[in-house]
Structure formats: C-alpha cells, structure tokens
Structure 1
Amino acid sequence: MKKMRKLAAMTIAAAVAATSMTGFTAFAEGETYRVCFIARASADTFAAWLTDSMKKAADQYDDIELTCVSGEADDNTMATLLEDCITKEYDLVIVQSNNNAAQAPYVKQVADAGIPVITTNPTTHQSDLDGVTGDEEVDNAVMAGTGTVDADPVEQASRGAIRAVDEVPENGNVVVLRGPSGNYHAEKRREAWDTYFFSERPDVTILYEDYANWNNDEAMTLMETWTQGGTHIDAIISMNDNMAAGAIEAIRNNSEYINEDGTPNFLAYGVDGTAQGCMLVKEGLLTATALQNAEEIANLNMEYAEKVLNGEMEYTDVADFVEAPEINADNVDEFIQIYIDNGELTEDALAE
C-alpha cells in the first residue's frame, strides 16, 4: 500500500543535548534495545490485534526486546504505565493512547526523560498537550518531541459514510455508537460522518447516540435497550467493528431485523476491517468497513524503532500514515484470505 509521509526534522545535536540533560544512556551499535508497547485495552479487538502484530514484528529484529502492556481503557492505569517506562529506563516507548488529552502530559514526561516516544493509533498531537478552549485554533501537529505511525480516521470513516448517503432509506432512523470520549480516532471518525453523511442527508434521524468505548458488550447492551423503543432502526453507524459486532449480536435473532431468508433488514457500518468485521461482511450483516491494518502499523513501528535505536534516523522524523481501503461484499474474500494466510482465520471457520 502507498503511504503518506509527513516528515518533520530535528537536529541530532538537539537530541543529544536532551539526552545529556536527563542522563539517559546513549545508544550504542550492537546492543539489544528494550522497547515497551502500551496498548489501550486488551478487551479491544483492534488493540489486541495490534499487540499481537507488534510481537510478531519485533521477532524480526534480533536487537529488539519488546514488552507489551495494557492500559485496560483506564487513564490512571495508562499514566502509571507511562511513568513506569521512565523508572524502568526503556530505550524506546510506543504508546496507543486511550484518551489523548489525558495521556499527553505523561507522554511528554517520557519524552522529557530522554526516551524516544512513538505514538500510534492514535497520534498524540500538540493540541492534546496544550488544550483547546472556545474558538481557539487546534494545532494538529504531532506533539513536539515525539514521532507517530497512524492512519487517518477521517479517511477511514468516510468510506462507509459516503456509500451510506445512497444506501440509507429516505427518512431513515439510525443509531450511532461512539468510541471513547477524548480519543482522537473516535472523535474524528464521528466528525467524518457529520461531514460526509449527515450534512448530505438532513432527512435522517439519529434515534440514539452513545459511547460504547470500542467495546462489544457495551454496544450490545445499548442496542438491546434501543430496540425496546419500538421504532425500527434502519442503520447502525459504528466508529469501529467491535461495537458494530456487539450491536448486531443484540438483534441477530430478532425477526424485525433478520428476514426469514436470513438477510438483514438493516444496514451497519464499521471501521477497522478486523477478522471479525470481515466475517460479518461475508455473512451480510455488516454492510461495509474500512481496513485499519494492524500488521502494517506494527511493522512500521518496529521498522522505525529499529532505525531510531541504531542511530539511522531521529524519532521526531517518524511520521507515517497507512491507507484505509473499503471492505464490502464485493471484495471481502480477498481480505478474509489475508487473515487465513496469517492464521487468524481458518478455512473451517469460514465454512461454518
């Protein structure tokens, strides 16, 4: 896949000076480097996929020893883990924030300690650290002193939103499942739906909208409650596949939403293109999703980590963004095959 690269330079002299001020040991050729990856939550299917992919990617480098930990979607836990990275003097830290603004000060602490930091899925921005009030202009630059590997959440969500303009029935009723408040990807994906769908379809009514925090069980509970309202839901608009899967599970055996021939009487849109999401597309229950390739993100993180640790590039020059191809009924088989090839799905599971 092609990637958009946005590189911002920082001189080696400045980096060396920061390192000297903190007393952190400079890198030496031939060492084994200790890298910590902090995932946002182990129960999050994408975060779990990314964690597993990080481990596989790290195995390709003899000079990287990777430790993976989870913040369990708790900001206090995330803060403790980031502070722990300083105490344990990791050589490089990769952070997948749960709440950008909450984690930003602790990410800065790690960077200020002279430890290279790469933020990933989502990027930590300067505005996350500085805070934004009123009509103040948002600084979407990568936070100073960090690098990033990410995907564009607006591009991701726009895939489903654009097609939904023509697919959602006139005067349709929809529900919206949101990711964690304060999470960059969650907020930007929701903004994309406003831009590409709701602004184009003023006839559509949002029956219900709530935070399910990327979580399957929370989304299932919300959907069970919403269907009790008595008004048919024409479309589920979810900011990720995991929440969409939970909502779909809540109505899988509901005759109002599943026709006698097994076809759905609703539409559903997600993001991530996980194995679970692809299987739901294949089943006809998820209308479309967009791939956020955890393997590609993990491989890039480890590639850049290794280059940084061996002095081949500055970590503040790391700025790479993967694309988000749409997955739908027409092309889902090629993405399922990827998961079969990497062992996440089996031919037997596909046949069930």
Structure 2
Amino acid sequence: MSLRSPLARAPRARRIGAGAVTALAAVSLAACTSNTPSTENEDASGQQAQNVVANDEPGDEVVIGFSAPAADHGWMGSITTSAKKAAEQYSDVDLRVAEGTNDVNLQISQVETFINDGVDAIVLLPFDGAAMTPVAMKAMEAGIPVINVDREFDDPNAARVTVLGDNYGMGVSAGTYICSQLEGQSDAVVAEIAGIDSLPLTQDRSQGFEDALKSCGLDVDNRVAADFTVEGGERAASNLLQAAPKIDAIWNHDDDQGVGVLAAIQNANRDEFFMVGGAGSANAMRSIKEGGSVLQATVIYPSTQAADGIKLARLLAQEKALGDLVEVEVPREVQLYAPVVTKENVDQFLPTAFES
C-alpha cells in the first residue's frame, strides 16, 4: 500500500460529519464561540466569512482508540484520566482505552487492534516514540489519523497531528523567573535538579534554563540529575545540598520527584533559597498557595495533552477545524505553553493540575 500524505483525508467510507469550519477556543480547545450557525457575511477585510457551527454540538459518532504508558507517576496518570474526562464531554465519542503499558510490544499490539477494529482515530502517547513509529505509520496508511502526544515519532508522517509540551520553554520560563527574583545579584548561586539526563526532554529543559540564565548574567553553579521519582529526587537533592553550602535558587524539573526534593531540604534544615518546580502538580500548587515553603513557583508541563488529543481526534473524524483559525484543517502541530505558576495566579491553574 502506498504511503498516504499525513495531510490527506481518510477514505470516503471513513469520513464522518459535515466538515463545516467550527468555533473552538484556541487556549483550551473546548470553549465554543457560538451555539447556533451564523449567516455568511463579509468581514472588515472584504473576505467572506464562512458559516460556523459550535464544535461541541453533537455530530456523527466517532470511535477513538487511546493508548499511553502505565500510570507509574502522577503526571502520566493524569494523562489517561484527562483523556477520559475529555471524551465524557461528548455524546458522540466512543473512547476505547487500552491498558497502560511500558511494554513496547504490547503497545504495538494495542494499536494494531485499533487498526483491525477500524477506529476513526487513534490518540497515542508512545512509551518509545521510535519503536511506535512503524505501527503508527501503518494506521496512517489505513486512513486512520493518528494524534501523537508528548513523545514524538521518528517520522512526522506517522502522525496527522502532534500535541507537545514545551520542554525547552519550561527551562526558559524557570530561568526567566529566577532572573526576575535575583535581579542585580550577579554572585547568586543557582542550582538545578534535572530529570533523567539521557532523555532529550531533560536536555531541552536544561538548555532552555541555561540560555535564560545567561540573559541576566547567571549560570548553573550546581547541577544533579534524578529520575522523576520521589526516591530519586530525595537522593539527588541530598547530594546537592551536601555539595553546595550556599544556594540562592533551585530549579527542580519535576514536581513528582519534587516531593522527595522537598523532603531532603527539610531533613537538611535548609531554607536560605527559593525553589521553582516543574510540570505543575496540584500538591505543589497548594504548597505555593499556602506559602511558608521554599517552593515559590512551578512551571507547567501540561498533563492535559491527551485531552487535547481527544478533542483534536474528534474534530478530524468529523471533518471539523479550529474555528478561531482561518484554516479549514486542524494544524499539524500544537505546542502548549509553559507558564510560571506563582501565588498570584495559582487559582487559574489548580483545576487542571495533576496529583503527585
């Protein structure tokens, strides 16, 4: 079978819906701009505006297959939970969730089952993007659009849409915030507790952090790596605190491992610095809101990416688009922002935070 373009539509027998351009709020991919069709009219530029209908109005039923790794930490657990909650909002979505697994071969077989069942779209957070690329390509060749979440495939043609967090942007946001808090302190000591150093996402986060600190004349004076677990975070933080008798600011890449990091800080009786977390867990945000902790802020890495994937899969299957855009097709890539959460804005982000 010849390779289909990732921009190509599914075969006619697989097409669903009227294909009208729809109104969907770009930030949440959920809110609609109108509940009733509008008449065609001419906008200020002289162009004809297309008729629009609300994205959330029920259409033809679509079957969406979903597969993600095992929920072995809070962020990953929230990925599947948020995907299910997104699907529950729609009476026209039949979501088929495969059991979370860190076995690549099992995840491949899950996707093959979706293909054989003839689902209308597949939302896939791969345990291993490279290993999952061939089966994702197989789905695309079968006319089933694949929405790739978080961990990219080796070949962009294996997905119709890719939904990503911004790892480099996380580092930039963390570094920029620390610069703002240490303004004028050119001798400030900045430390970093990274995740798994071999992962590109960790490397991207660290590079963004380094680049942002350079803009205010700071650098990373002490750095250790953990493993995104509570135990690893506590061990890495203990080593850091022993090696650095003076610290002014710490960026910890991940709020799950941050539980251990904060335990190590408490055990060492250190509080001369402030800390910025990463990913945006609910317990971290609650601590920020309450105050009284070294944890002063955290940087979002959305655990709602799969929920956005479900919404985009529904739009693709029903031949709809993002109504806030002029284009009549769903974009190839959606990269989510990495905002800094502080005491001032924490209430805005708590509702979508994950539990560590």
TM-score by length of 1: 0.70
Measured after TM superposition, the shift of residue 301 of structure 1 is 2.5
Q: Does residue 1:177 correspond to 2:198, yes or no?
A: no
- 2:82 pairs, out of 40, 53, 63, with 53
| Change in CA separation of 1:323 and 1:201 when aligned onto 2, cut-off 3 Å | same
How many angstroms apart in 2 are the aligned matches of 1:190 and 1:99?
21
After superposition, give the CA deviation of every residue in 1:136-194 in whole Å (9 maximum; x if it has no partner): xxxxxx445421233333333311111223546725252322247445x4342222112
Residue in 1 aligned with 2:205? 189
After superposition, give the CA deviation of every residue in 1:194-247 in whole Å (9 maximum; x if it has no partner): 2112575565422x43241x3333322333444455745554323222222331
How many angstroms apart in 1 are the aligned matches of 2:91 and 2:15?
16
Residue in 1 aligned with 2:23? none
How many angstroms apart in 2 are the aligned matches of 1:329 and 1:151?
23
Residue in 2 aligned with 1:133? none
Q: Specify which structure has the higher proportion of helix.
A: 1
Q: Which letter maps to 1:306? A: R
After superposition, give the CA deviation of every residue in 1:86-143 in whole Å (9 maximum; x if it has no partner): 3444331112234433433343233234321001234x26xx33xxxxxxxxxxxx44
| Change in CA separation of 1:83 and 1:188 when aligned onto 2, cut-off 3 Å | farther
Q: Does residue 1:111 correspond to 2:140, yes or no?
A: yes
- 1:281 pairs, out of 288, 313, 322, with 288
Q: Does residue 1:149 correspond to 2:178, yes or no?
A: no
How many angstroms apart in 1 are the aligned matches of 2:89 and 2:295?
35
Q: Which letter maps to 1:276? A: N
Q: Does residue 1:93 correspond to 2:122, yes or no?
A: yes
Residue in 2 aligned with 1:269? 276
- 1:303 pairs, out of 286, 301, 311, with 311
After superposition, give the CA deviation of every residue in 1:256-305 in whole Å (9 maximum; x if it has no partner): x1xxxxxx33332223222122123233332222234444x455323322
Q: Which letter maps to 1:190? A: S
| Change in CA separation of 1:175 and 1:182 when aligned onto 2, cut-off 3 Å | closer
How many angstroms apart in 2 are the aligned matches of 1:223 and 1:78?
34
Residue in 2 aligned with 1:209? 224
- 2:336 pairs, out of 290, 312, 322, with 322
Between Structure 1 and Structure 2, how many residues are aligned?
A: 299
How many angstroms apart in 1 are the aligned matches of 2:266 and 2:135?
42
Measured after TM superposition, the shift of residue 327 of structure 1 is 0.7
- 2:7 pairs, out of 10, 33, 41, with 10
Structure 1 unpaired stretches of 5+: 1-7, 20-24, 130-141, 258-263, 346-352
How many angstroms apart in 2 are the aligned matches of 1:78 and 1:335?
32
Q: Does residue 1:158 correspond to 2:158, yes or no?
A: no
- Identify which range, 227-236 or 59-68, moves more after superposition: 227-236
Q: Which letter maps to 1:197? A: L
CA RMSD of aligned residues (A): 3.5
How many angstroms apart in 2 are the aligned matches of 1:36 and 1:189?
31
TM-score by length of 2: 0.69
Is the Cα–Cα contact under 8 Å of residues 123 and 306 in structure 2 kept in the other structure?
Answer: no
Residue in 2 aligned with 1:240? 254
